[in-house]
Amino acid sequence: MGEDGHMGGHSGPAGGAPELTDVAPGTQEFSIKTTEYSFAPSKIEAKPGPATFVVENKGQIIHDFTVDQLGIHFNVAAGQTVKKPYSVEAGRYEFYCSVAGHKQLGMTGTLEVS
Ligand SMILES: [Cu+2]
């Protein structure tokens, strides 16, 4: 049992008032797929502010998603999808997998925030 089923999503508006959600206005979400040994896409363009990264590991071994300058770092086990909220500042950054050797094998990309 790996899922706690606590997504809390509502669907279907019930009236004229705007729906309230638990997502802050302006929150942007980026879906990234990873495998041995690459990220797709390898270039992400974001706006400064809250940014949620959703990394799906379609490979056979663990990978992670790391951006040193922004304090982003989380592991994604094989076959898992991990979603993490962060905040990003303007700049051009390298993201990569910090598992030993993986960056050298091609697990890098560019995160451009402007
Ligand atoms: Cu990796």
Residue span of the structural domain in which 106 resides: 28-113
Per-residue CA distances from 21 to 2, 44, 57, 86, 109 (Å):
25, 25, 27, 18, 31
Find how far residue 58's CA is from the centre of its chain. Answer: 14
3-state SS assignment for residue 32: strand
- At position 22, the amino acid (one-letter code) is D
How far apart are the CA of 25 and the centre of ligand 1, in A? Answer: 32
Q: For residue 92, list its beta bridge partners.
A: 112
Neighbour count for residue 65 (Cβ, 10 Å): 24
Domain annotation covers residue 11: no
pLDDT tens digit at each of 114 positions of the chain: 444 545 444 544 444 555 555 555 668 999 999 999 999 999 999 999 999 999 999 999 999 999 999 999 999 999 999 999 999 999 999 999 999 999 999 999 999 999
Domain annotation covers residue 14: no
CATH of the domain at 78: 2.60.40.420
Domain annotation covers residue 9: no
What is the residue whose two structure tokens read 């300058």? 69
Domain annotation covers residue 21: no
How far apart are the CA of 23 and the centre of ligand 1, in A? Answer: 29
Q: How many domains does the chain have?
A: 1
